[in-house]
Structure formats: structure tokens, C-alpha cells
Amino acid sequence: MLKIVLSISFVMFSAATFAGTSDIKASNNQINIEAISTNVDYTENGDGRLGTQTGTVDTETGHVHGHPISISTMWGAGNEYFEGKYDHSSGNTTYTGALQSGVFGSVVDTSSAVLDNYSVRFGKGFIIDNINDQFEQTSEVTDLFMLTPYVELGRHKWDRGVNYGEIYKNNWFGIGGLGQYSPVRNFVLSANAMVGETFGSYITVNFGGGFNGFSGSLGNSTRYNFGVSADYAFMKHFHGNLSIDYTSFSYGISGIFPVGGGYVGWEPNSKTNYTTTKVGLGYAF
């Protein structure tokens, strides 16, 4: 009789583990098309160089919208993981600044913004089981959790419509972890955290009024990303998903460039925060 009970418990444990694992893997083997809304929160800070302003010089705030596409896959007994993403968003933000040597806030205008992001992620998933048999004589799966450490490489571009146009670019490399939990069948909750570094930060500035533009390197910074998401399988191959992500990084001050007429120009220090919401449909394969 004891052998029968143990055998039944083992089968139930295996079935529960398999069910949770299969739901998590299904959520990781998808092609997704989504709608995206990104809240831009950008601030430039002057350091008083050549007698210019100190403190906040200008800001860009507001939402831009777009349609990202992504593909992810987890395969093999080792749960190897790959994800590739691209998103494109455009819209208008509110520019708050000042004329040269003016008071911050004295100029408020609308500025166009176009954001493009590319990224690839490589990782390996580890299943973590928590068996609650410390106070009971049964073995019951109380938690089924997958942790996927990963490395990520990406590229960001912001076409900023302020003045005569500025284009910011940077690459990033990061290390992070994706935690996933399936509380009920067909439903997967995920949390993501990554820390990394930007590199190759660069700006191109256009000037009017007979002045020359300039292009040059910007300082790099630490890059942070945190996010949560939910995935539900309405059918075997069709999923709905929702996610919210927060990203933060900075651009360091540029060098000084002659722009004509005895004048010079440069790009000050800045900080960028993005809060991104996505909702979409996925095809699981």
C-alpha cells in the first residue's frame, strides 16, 4: 500500500512539474506583435561651461507610440534561450527649456520624437521546484519557477526634433535574469531585471541660421532595466500578453565643436528614463 501511495505521489508531482514547465516554455516560444506606448522623461543638465547655465537646461516629456515585433525560443533539455526584439515608435513630446542664457521654463514647445530599439538576448533556463513536505507526509509542488540568466546586446536611436534636429545613438551590453512562474495552467507571470553599460554613445546636431552642425561622441553610463509581464494562452498557439518596463541611462557631456562665426557648441550631460507599456498577441510554435 505504501508503494502505491508513493507511486501516485510521484506521478502527481511529475505531472504538475511537466504542466508548469510546458506553460513556461510555451510562453518562451513565440512570435509577438504588440502595440507600445513609451513615456519619455529626458533631462539635460548644464555644468556652467564657458559661462552657460547650470542645473536643468531643458526637458522632453510625453508619450510616443509604435508597434514592436519580437521572437523568442527555448529549446533542448538544457533550456537554452534566445530572444530578438525590434520596436519603432514615433510621436510628439513637450519640450521645456529656454533661449540662450535664458531662464529654464521660459520656452515650452512641441517636439517630434522617433525611437528605434534593437536587441538580442541569450540565456539558459533553470527550473526551481519547492517541495512542501516538511510538515506534512505528502510531497506537493507548491512552487514551480524558472530562472533564466542571460546576456543582452542592443542598440538605441532617438531622432529628436528639437531645434533643427538632433540624433542620439548608443549601444548597450547587459547581464540580467528572467524569473517566470506559472500559478495556473496557461498563465505565466514574468519579472525581469538587467544591469549593463552603454557604449558607442554618439550625437549628431543640426544648426540653422548659417551655423554648422556637429557630430561627436558622448559619455557612456550604467544602464538599468526592470519589467514585469503576463502571458495567457487563449488557445494552444495563440497567446495574449501585457508588459511594463522601465529603462534608465545617461549621456555624458560631449566635446566642444566650432559651429562658425566664432561660436562653439556642445551637448551637455543628460539623463533618459523610459517607461514602456506593451499589449499584444503572440503565436506559440
Q: DSSP per residue over 237-281, as a string?
A: SEEEEEEEEEEEEEEB----EEEETTEEE---EEEEEEEEEEEEE
The structure's pTM equals 0.88
Rounded-to-integer distance, Cα 61 and Cα 176, Å: 28
Phi and psi at residue 222, to the nearest 5°? -70, 145
CATH number at residue 100: 2.40.128.100
Instruction: Provide the domain limits for residue 64.
Output: 2-284
| Type and span of the H or E element at 55 | strand 54-66
Query: Measured in whole angstroms, how far is the alpha carbon of residue 19 from the centre of its chain?
Result: 29
User: For the CA atoms of 90, 269, 217, 209, what is the dihedral angle to 10 degrees?
Assistant: 70
Question: In the chain, how many domains are there?
Answer: 1
Helix or strand or coil: residue 11?
A: helix
Q: Which of 206, 216, 217 is nearest to 260 (CA)?
A: 206
Paired sense of beta strands 187-205 and 30-47, if any: unpaired
CB 264 within 8 A of CB 256: yes
Rounded-to-integer distance, Cα 38 and Cα 63, Å: 5
pLDDT, averaged per 10 consecutive residues of the chain (285 residues), comes to: 36 44 93 98 95 93 98 96 98 92 89 98 89 47 80 98 96 98 95 98 93 96 98 97 98 97 95 98 97
CB 121 within 8 A of CB 82: yes
pLDDT of residue 163: 87
Rounded-to-integer distance, Cα 115 and Cα 277, Å: 14
pLDDT of residue 151: 98
